[in-house]
Structure 1
Amino acid sequence: MGAIIIQAVGLFLIILLGFLLKQVGLLTKLDGTRLSIVIVNVTLPAVVIVNLAHIAIQGELVVFILIGLFWSIFQIMIAWLVSKKQEKIQTQFFMYCASGFNIGNFTLPFVQGFLPLGVPLISMFDLGNSIMLAGGTGLMVDGFVNHTVAFEPRQILRRLLKSIPFTCYLVMLLLRIFSIDLPTSFLTMLQPVASANVFLSMFMIGLYLDLKLPKHAAKDVVKLLFLRYGVGLVLIVFFYFLPIPDVQKTVLCLLAVTPVPLFGVINSVLAGVEEETVGFASSISFLLSLPLMTILLLLLGVTF
């Protein structure tokens, strides 16, 4: 228990360090954007490759791909039902930010530090999650809110394959299906890069933190967070009683309280939601997810 708390405090201090360096003017939010490029294209792919290099592809991993896909669809439907009577722009805000999972910049670094055995499950889950974030969510929003549907699978596939992490997930999945091993020397060289992912991801979150909120948007932000985490907590109770292995149960519970994904922020701003509103909601979700995930690990009381 003590080790979990100490590690969680360490992650929070890294976030705080990034935030303080931004506040004193040594770094800016733009540096966070530059850092995210390094994370998404270098350290996160290294984590995927290192942690999937020796896994045996079993049915549970394939199932997690489908869970990632259909869970996102479920979130979008719930968000639409809750917000469909509000203004169009508010409905889009809820559908984009109450759905999807922030895997690469938060959940995977968290699991990497606390629960290494959960990384393959998270990685497979992110395959399904990425399909929605790369175009599936926008398609559903257009259908329900704008009443226009333009299904373009080639565009979605092209967008997915441009994502280096997604491509790494896919390549590693295929390699493991055919039991093809990567050279040990290559994996050894990648290990330090993968290890840097936790620090860089938490530090980037600190640079992105934005605690300014327009007063008129407070009600919507509270409702969004209540929706996202309220539904998540209900699902945690459901997952807890499922007759599945402890590692899978813990991973699903952690996924239920992940923060707002980056694509949710981007798409909301493109839809016309104020950047300050979306930025505040995203920042608070990070600050909520870290303690919630830590508490879940303590309550589940499982040692891996």
Structure 2
Amino acid sequence: MGAVLLNSLGLFVIIVIGYLTKRFNVLMKADGSMISKIVVNVTLPAAIIVNLQSLVVKNQLLLLILAGLLLNLVMIIIGHLLSKKQERVEREFLMYGVSGYNIGNFAIPFVQSFMPQAIPILSFFDIGNSVMLAGGSNVVIEGISGSNMGSPGAKKVLSRLFRSVPFLCYLIMLSLRILQIDLPQAFFQMAQPIANANTFLSMFMIGLFLELRLPKKDLTLVARVLAIKYGAGLLLTVLFMLLPLPAIIKVVLCLVSVGPIPTFGVINSVAAGMRAEVVGFTSSLSFLISLPLMTSLMLFL
């Protein structure tokens, strides 16, 4: 228990350091965008490669790709059913806010510091999740809300996916492991220091992006989005605990269910017309809620 709490506290301290460097003008929020590019294109791919080097592909793991797709759809439907009386922009914001799973920037760095053996499971789940975040969710949400004029087609979704360095790393490593092709051990040794930097940079970036001020008139909408997201997430957690699944898969599914709003959820909400300060505040608050929730689940499970 002590190790889990210390690890979680360490992650929180990194977030606080990132936030304080912004508040004291050592760095700016814009610097977070540069760090985000480093994480997405360098340290996260390295973490994926290192953690999938000994992967044994099983049918049960392949089903996690489907789970990544279906759970996104389930959360979109829940968001739709609980936002029918709201205006279109708020409905879309709610559906984007409650759906999608923040794997690369939060779940992988979090799990990497506690139980790196779970990273392959997260990776399979994130393949399906990535399909939705890259445009699948846009198609469904804009279709439901009746604003599908700019909805991306299959070609655009695939284009987004194959421009994603982490997604390409998933596919390459998955293909190599299915064919049982081993890369030289020296390659992984060189990638290891880069992978080790992923947790620090991801949490530091979150601190730089934190926004903790918002007009009171918008707080009701923020509270509604977060209440639905975490209420549904906790219900899914209970369901996963009751299902006859391997323990490590249960842990992963429970953790992602209470994870924060993903970056694409923020981008898509702003593109749908929601004010950036509302979306930014909601996203920031979701990180501060998810960290203690995921830590509590680690202790319980």
Contact 1:101 1:259 in 2 (8 A): yes
Q: How does 1:227-238 map to 2 (within 5 A)?
A: 227-238=228-239
Secondary structure in 1 aligned to 2:212? coil
Q: How does 1:145-164 map to 2 (within 5 A)?
A: 145-146=145-146, 148=148, 152-164=153-165
Contact 1:17 1:206 in 2 (8 A): yes
2:53 is matched with which residue? 53
Q: How far 1:147 sits from its partner (Å)?
A: 5.2
Contact 1:221 1:281 in 2 (8 A): yes
1:27 is matched with which residue? 27
1:195 is matched with which residue? 196
1:62 is matched with which residue? 62
RMSD: 1.0
1:78 is matched with which residue? 78
Contact 2:230 2:258 in 1 (8 A): yes
Structure 1 residue 296 corresponds to structure 2 residue 297:
yes
The change in CA–CA distance for 1:29 and 1:147 in structure 2 (over 3 A counts) is: closer
Q: List alignment gaps of at least 5 residues for structure 2.
A: none
Q: List alignment gaps of at least 5 residues for structure 1.
A: none
Q: Tell me which moved more, 11-20 or 143-152.
A: 143-152
The whole-number CA distance in structure 2 between the counterparts of 1:298 and 1:171 is 34
TM-score normalised by structure 2 residue count: 0.98
2:97 is matched with which residue? 97
Q: Tell me which moved more, 206-215 or 149-158.
A: 149-158
Q: How far 1:148 sits from its partner (Å)?
A: 3.5
The whole-number CA distance in structure 2 between the counterparts of 1:78 and 1:123 is 25
Contact 1:214 1:276 in 2 (8 A): no
1:18 is matched with which residue? 18
Secondary structure in 2 aligned to 1:210? coil
Structure 1 residue 209 corresponds to structure 2 residue 210:
yes
2:278 is matched with which residue? 277
Contact 1:45 1:168 in 2 (8 A): yes
The whole-number CA distance in structure 1 between the counterparts of 2:112 and 2:219 is 34
Identity %: 52
1:155-205, Cα deviation, whole Å (9 max, x unpaired):
111110000000110111111110011110010000000000000000000
1:239 is matched with which residue? 240
The whole-number CA distance in structure 2 between the counterparts of 1:38 and 1:269 is 23
Secondary structure in 2 aligned to 1:83? coil
2:187 is matched with which residue? 186
Q: How far 1:217 sits from its partner (Å)?
A: 1.1
Contact 2:92 2:142 in 1 (8 A): no
The whole-number CA distance in structure 2 between the counterparts of 1:148 and 1:271 is 11
Q: How far 1:214 sits from its partner (Å)?
A: 2.1
TM-score normalised by structure 1 residue count: 0.97
